A and B are shown apart, each in its own frame.
Chain A
Amino acid sequence: MARELKLMKGNEAIAEAAIRAGADAYFGYPITPQSEVIEYLMAEKPHERTGKVVLQAESEVAAINMVYGAAGAGKRVWTSSSSPGISLKQEGISYIAGAELPCVILNVVRGGPGLGTIQPSQADYFQSVKGGGHGDYRLIVLAPSSVQEMADYVVDAFDLAFKYRNPVLILSDGVIGQMMEKVYLIEQRPRLTDEEIKQRYAWATTGKKDGTERRVITSLALKADEMEAHNIHLQKKYAEIEANEVRFEEFQCDDAEYVFVAYGSSARVCQKAVQLARNKGIKAGLLRLITLFPFPKAEIGRLTGQVKGMLAVEMSSGQMIEDVKLAVNGRIKAEHFGRFGGNIPTPDEVLYALETQIIGG
């Protein structure tokens, strides 16, 4: 199949890819560094191209609840925002997870806390993989590290969301959202017709037909036993996701004595740091995480039998390191290195951290 090649910003690439993936609707509210998503969508007139609905909501709260409504009616729907806006969406995300609705949420992370900075950051890791909103739930979290992956992962994200009836979060950052790279785009996929939705998704509230049971989208279970049963069901689903959907990529890990563990733009920096290390004779490698939930615990566990130490590199003061340490389980040395608040570490800084914190430390 011919794949169209374009030079695009990450934010534009994901918007274009979502149209091509056959998305039915997007609801969002502007915030830097991801406003290009809705700007691109509006300029592209997807309602004319494919019939896709694009609406600028009055707030992120409204946007995520519009997503809830459309998702509850079986539509392929997504939203995007950056950190402060994602915080506002958390109530809605919890409801969506509780009601088991499929949708895609993009977070182009910026530095925080509070209004923070519009510069890139990875400090929303805890919020993304540990819940974010209230209650025992999980999102499937995908972390693109290039413009190409912004385009690719949104397609995967819709598939995963519908496979598991679960919200999927694409955890990006200001670097990936704003930078321009070449990107291969898939051909336009047709949107499902209302009839196809009715047939495929028996749970979707599309209007009940005579003789069929009415459908109800809800996350309410007033009786403790019902609520517990629903939670047990959710936990089973999350366990299935953990068993089937772990994704990562390894770079020069085969003979590595030390590995960097990173995702997103930090992984790009670490890839360069691996080269610098190898030039100096240090056998370094990179474990790049693609899914943050499910977390590649088993692979990290396996690597502890091979390497002497791990450096978790993240543009935060140390969030992902907690999961790395749990997976390492004390078998080897594992430390965090990060620049944060909008700063991006250089490959030299990362290599220096490996030498001082792990090799020499």
Chain B
Amino acid sequence: MLAKDIIKPENLVYQKTKLMTDNVLSYCPGCGHGTAHRITMEVLEEMGIGDETIGVAPVGCSVLAYEFMNIDMQQAAHGRAPAVATGIKRCYPEKFVFTYQGDGDLAAIGTAETIHACNRGENITIIFVNNGIYGMTGGQMAPTTLPGMRSSTSPYGRDVNLMGNPLKMTELVAQLPGTSFVSRQAVHTPKHVRKAKKAIRQAFELQKQKKGTTFVEIVSNCNSGWKMTPVQANQWMEENMFPFYPLGDIKVPE
């Protein structure tokens, strides 16, 4: 069979969502950010709400999310995405608004904005990519860095007596009455991607129903920051990150 006999619309089993641009992703090969972007955009496309959605990109490796997500986007100052999203959503309660944030952005400099947006029950969706490190600035310790984990600012491993304990923001925001759906997922295998996408879909469906803040953490790798190959990083993530940050829904609507 010739290629031209195979490459036909009726044989198409998968195509890139129109809500991703053709720009080449700036992420390291094997990084979870690209997949997290794609499934978020696929959800918007499948729900038919791409035209009604405004995304907020953070400061971090995904600062350029607006180069890849083919929707209206605002780039926020480091940690401030939930406040920026609040400003948009309060003025456009019928539109869909989401933030996409790393763990330094959301769990360190933006802790206050995150907790208060969730506590007010802002009708937004927060996608939180937790790779346990500051990727963009070259692998420094994040609030989410595991005890004993090495980073460029904890070169001998995170000593919790000196550097504090990792912060589980997802469990924390699940306590707040303003959140309706809080889930922790991963995107390193097809099975995990499907589950993560389902969670993101549920988050946006609940936003549509004005159910308050929906929050999806994606435990991801940072092979560059962790100084591992992509394969090693995923394995390390399964062995070390998942026991500390267990996957699954943490809070679902009654």
A contacts, CB < 8 Å to B: 24-25, 27, 53, 55, 57-59, 61-63, 65-73, 75, 77, 91-92, 95, 99, 194, 205-210, 214-220
Contact = CB atoms under 8 A, between A and B. Distances in A.
Contacts of B57: 218
Contacts of A62: 80, 83, 86, 112-113, 116
B236 interface: no
B80 A73 contact: no
Contacts of A77: 87, 91
A44 B45 CA distance: 41
A65 B87 contact: yes
A69 B74 CA distance: 7
B84 interface: yes
A214 B87 contact: no
Contacts of A25: 87, 90-91
Contacts of B87: 25, 27, 65-73, 77
Contacts of B88: 69-70, 72-73, 205
Contact of A209 (B51, B84, B113): B51
A21 to B, nearest CB: 16
A113 B158 CA distance: 38
Interface in B48-96: 50-54, 56-57, 63-64, 66, 70-77, 80, 83-92, 95
Nearest to B97: A69
Contacts of A58: 112-113, 116
Given A91-B77, A207-B54, 8 more contacts: A65-B83, A68-B76, A69-B87, A206-B72, A217-B75, A218-B66, A218-B74, A219-B75
A6 B17 CA distance: 58
Q: 6 closest Cβ contacts across the A-B interface?
A: A69-B87, A66-B87, A65-B83, A69-B84, A218-B75, A205-B72
Given A205-B72, A206-B54, A207-B51, A73 B91 contact: yes
A66 B51 contact: no
A200 B50 CA distance: 22
A68 B53 contact: no
A159 B53 CA distance: 28
A209 B88 CA distance: 17
Nearest to B90: A53
8 contacts: A55-B86, A62-B86, A69-B74, A72-B74, A95-B76, A194-B92, A205-B88, A214-B70
A73 B83 CA distance: 14
Given A210-B51, A217-B73, A73 B92 contact: yes
Given A62-B113, A70-B88, A73-B54, A92 B74 contact: no
B90 A95 contact: no
A123 to B, nearest CB: 26
Contacts, number: 128
A65 B72 contact: no
A79 to B, nearest CB: 10
A231 B84 CA distance: 24
Contact of B95 (A55, A207, A215): A207
B43 to A, nearest CB: 16
B90 A66 contact: yes
Contact of A69 (B50, B52, B83, B116): B83
Contacts of A217: 73-75
Contacts of A216: 66, 72-75
Nearest to B74: A217
Q: Which interface residue of B63, B70, B80, B87 has the most chain A CB atoms within 10 A?
A: B87
Nearest to A63: B83
A67 B57 CA distance: 16
B116 A75 contact: no
Contacts of B90: 25, 53, 55, 66, 70
A61 B80 contact: yes
Interface in B11-58: 50-54, 56-57
Contacts of A53: 90-91
B178 to A, nearest CB: 13
A55 B90 CA distance: 9
Contact of B77 (A59, A70, A92): A92
A332 to B, nearest CB: 45
A92 B87 CA distance: 13
Nearest to B92: A73
B91 A214 contact: no
Given A62-B80, A207-B53, A214 B72 contact: yes
A66 B84 contact: yes
Contacts of B52: 207
A58 B84 CA distance: 13
A67 B66 CA distance: 20
A65 B64 CA distance: 19
Nearest to A222: B64
Nearest to A62: B83
Nearest to B18: A210
A206 B89 CA distance: 10
Given A207-B53, A220-B75, A65 B84 contact: yes
A87 to B, nearest CB: 15
A102 to B, nearest CB: 13
